[in-house]
Every structure is written in structure tokens, then in C-alpha cells.
Amino acid sequence: MEQSREEFLEQFGGDYGYPDAPRGVDQMRAADFKRLQGTVYLDHAGAALYSEPQMADVVKDLTSNFYGNPHSQSDSSMAATDQVTAARHQVLKYFNASPRDYKCIFTSGATAALKLVGECFPWSRESCYMYTMENHNSVLGIREYALSKGATALAVDIEEDKGLEKNHGSPSSGLFKISRHSNQRRGGDVLSQNCQNGSLSTVSENNWNLFAFPSECNFSGQKFNLNLVKLIKEGNLVGLPSQQQQGQWMVLIDAAKGCATEPPNLDVYPADFVVCSFYKIFGYPTGLGALIIKNEAASLLNKTYFSGGFVLPYLISMFYLSYNLSLILFLNLCNICRNGSCFNC
């Protein structure tokens, strides 16, 4: 192994191990990941490893502070509520999402966040669920919700001409080429008939379509150009059924993989939904993710299920609050605050 390492360093040594960071990767590993001695771990991108100082900090916090059920008014409850609020702000900041425009809903992972979007999206028979072929299974799962409401599902490949972007700088639909796979629809294929005839019946402006793509594919490592967000929302991508034909588009970015290294900047790429998963960033806690949702998108979703021990959402009747907290999560959320500095690693 030592020999392979020498060969590797000879070839890539200049770029290896965060050369510009205060501590290189070898130093970090020796000091903060002592348990790895003598082992090789090749899945850090799939499931990041928690560091030992991080866990010591988490244990210190949980054993020296008293966190109660965040759904009530005692001091211990308020301490937990403060942590949850702080965690929510940190997550929004990580995505450069203004709290004025976006909400952060904690979930049990990226899959649960995607399922929530699929369940609550305002599908109609005229809707289209379009997704890139390179996608996680959990994104494909949304297809079932769309099809069950009579919508059309459509897989596409997106090719990008990187040379063109270099020359022109600004995003343009010409940079991307969309190739469609066949439409899927239960009980008749209205969308494809419409598209093929070229004589499209006008669909109500209030018809909603969803486009989903990963910021980074966890299988191929391909990073998608986030300029797609604006082009899709404006109905400006060649090959996309036009806005007049199809109503309006919302865009979902699956950032579960990409957010560990490059969280989408929502101020620049204003997607309607972004999902993420925290074990891919911090390693611990597992079973915790988030749906970052634009306020306008949240107001369009159909509430299907009330959960958690909060009475407030029932009274206030705002969509996002009904998914606000579950009792299982709040201690994990305290850990997000402890791990907050890892957002900046």
C-alpha cells in the first residue's frame, strides 16, 4: 500500500489533501479519525465519517444541557426550541436561502423529503413530471405519485455544451440539449399526443409541472449546471413542452450528494425545492435531512398528513408548520447546531 501511495503522490501530490487548508487531510485523519488507523474507507462521499472531536462536542452538549420536548413552554423545552430554530437558520444560510423566501422542513432524510414533495405536489392530469435519467431512485419514486394522479412522467437526458458557456458567459438554452425518453402515463398518453400533433390545447396557467435533477449524481459523479433552474422555470429550454402548452414549472434539486461539497446557492439558482441529507455532510446524525422549500411553492402544496406533537400547525394551518418537528428529531437537531462549524469545513 505504501508503494501505491508514493506513486499516487508523485502523480497528484500537488492537489492532494487540501493543500491550501490550515490542516491537510493526513493531519486531520491522524488527529480526528484515530479509529481509522490501518483501514481504508472508500465511501466518504456516500456516507461521510464523523470526526472524534465532533462526537465529543455532541456528548458534552447532551450531557451538560437539559433539552425537553420542544412543543411546550418550560425552560428545557425552550432550550430545545432555540436549538431547532438555530439549526433551521444554519441550514438556510448554508444554501444562501433568505428566510424571507424559503422555509426549512426537517425530515428523516433526503428520501423522506422527496416523498413529501411527491405526496403533496399539486398534480393534475395535465401535469408533467420530468426528471433526468441520472437520478437517485428516491427521485424516481416521485413518478408513482405523479402517475397515480393521471400526470405524465418523462425521463430526459441533458447534454451541456461546456465550450459554448465559456465563450458566452451567460446561461442560454442553446447550451443544453434535451433528449426525451418515452412518456409514461396511466390510461392514455395525452401529453405525447399533444406534443406530437404540434396543435396543443392550451392548458390552464395554474397547471403545475415538476422538473427534478441532482446537483451531483451519486453514481456517475456528474455535476449538473444549475442554470437549468431558471431556464426550466422560464420554460426556455429547447425540447421542453412550452409554458403555454404546459402551465408552469417548478424545479427540484436533489442536493443529497452535492451539498457535502457544493451546496446550491439558492440566491443565484432559485429552485422551488432542494433536498439534503446530513450524514453526507457530518457523518452524524444519520436519519436526518431537510426539504428547503420556496414559500410560494409551499403555499401550493396539498396537505395530506398531519404529524408530530404540535397543536399549532392545526390552528395556524400553514403547510410547512405541519411538518415542523417530530419528537424523534429534536435531539438530532441539537447536534446539527453542534456540528454547525462542520458546515464551514
Ligand X SMILES: Cc1ncc(COP(=O)(O)O)c(C=O)c1O
# of chain residues touching ligand X (CB under 6 A): 13
Q: Strand pairing partners for 157?
A: 179
- The whole-angstrom separation of Cα 94 and Cα 22 is 21
Single out the residue of 120, 119, 189 nearest to residue 153, CA to CA: 189
Q: Quote the least distance from Cβ 232 to ligand X, whole Å.
A: 19
| Three cell numbers written together for 75 | 425552560
Is residue 218 at the binding interface for ligand X, with CB under 6 A as the rule?
yes
Is residue 256 at the binding interface for ligand X, with CB under 6 A as the rule?
yes
Q: Quote the least distance from Cβ 277 to ligand X, whole Å.
A: 3
Which of the stretches 146-154, 165-173, 253-261, 328-336 binds ligand X when contact is defined by CB under 6 A?
253-261
Q: Which is nearer to ligand X, 155 or 195 (CB)?
A: 155
Q: Which is nearer to ligand X, 109 or 235 (CB)?
A: 109
Is residue 254 at the binding interface for ligand X, with CB under 6 A as the rule?
yes
Is residue 285 at the binding interface for ligand X, with CB under 6 A as the rule?
no
Please list the alpha-helical segments (H only) found in 149-188.
162-168
Residues 6 or more apart in contact with residue 80 via CB below 8 angstroms: 67, 68, 69, 70, 330, 331, 334
Q: Quote the least distance from Cβ 328 to ligand X, whole Å.
A: 15
- The whole-angstrom separation of Cα 99 and Cα 317 is 19
Please list the alpha-helical segments (H only) found in 283-328.
295-300, 312-316
**Sole binder of ligand X in the list 194, 207, 277, 335 (CB under 6 A):** 277
Q: Give the footprint of ligand X on residues 289-328 (CB under 6 A).
A: 289
Is residue 225 at the binding interface for ligand X, with CB under 6 A as the rule?
no
Q: Give the footprint of ligand X on residues 39-78 (CB under 6 A).
A: 46
Q: What percentage of the chain's residues is helix, strand, coil (to nearest 5)?
A: 40, 15, 45
Q: Which residues bind ligand X (CB under 6 A)?
A: 46, 109-111, 136, 138, 214, 218, 254, 256-257, 277, 289
